[in-house]
Amino acid sequence: SSNKHGTMGVVHLTVSDDLEGVSSILKWLSYIPSHVGGMLPIVKPLDPPERPVEYFPENSCDPRAAICGTLDGNGRWLGGIFDKDSFVETLDGWARTVVTGRAKLGGIPVGIVAVETQTVMQIIPADPGQLDSHERVVPQAGQVWFPDSATKTAQAILDFNREELPLFVLANWRGFSGGQR
């Protein structure tokens, strides 16, 4: 299923139907040049580029709110680093201690690699080739690069390079966890 592929890092985006799929493809294409070496498709942003970044975390940082903003408890918009409503997260079901995607800054498309600060649960599916295998759920600490999240980071950087996007890395890692990929 596409959900399974999304959690294994096989697909960049999962959608619920064909129309949403076509819409997602068109949105993705709006971030990249029309041809190799072409100009980035710069658009007028929804919010002014000179705006202050109003999202300031009190305890732990939500990387998505830092990237694209959020509503506070009173329904007031707190702008993030990048243009409002421009962030498209990719590979979100896989290697969840890293957040990757595309956004716009002053209407300019960019690639983003950010750190998940909260502990996430990694689902390790059962191996169909082993009869005694079963699905496992393993916690992964936030701000730690695991083998899967390091691979996801490398994949995202390669994708952004191929798409000729400027890269922003919002780095807040506290360590690496070794192991096998």
**Which residue in 89, 83, 87, 97 sits closest to 147, CA to CA?**
97
* 81, part of any domain: no
- Residue 29: CATH number of its domain: 3.90.226.10
pTM of the entire structure? 0.82
* 85, part of any domain: no
CA pair distance 15, 90, nearest whole angstrom: 12
Give the domain extent around 132.
2-47+90-176
Q: How many domains does the chain have?
A: 1
* 135, part of any domain: yes
* 134, part of any domain: yes
CA pair distance 139, 75, nearest whole angstrom: 32
CA pair distance 150, 153, nearest whole angstrom: 5
Per residue of the chain (181 residues), give pLDDT as tens.
445 555 555 667 677 899 988 888 888 888 899 999 999 999 998 888 888 899 887 777 889 999 999 998 899 999 999 999 999 999 888 888 999 999 999 999 999 999 998 888 888 788 888 888 888 888 888 888 888 999 999 999 999 999 999 999 998 888 777 765 5
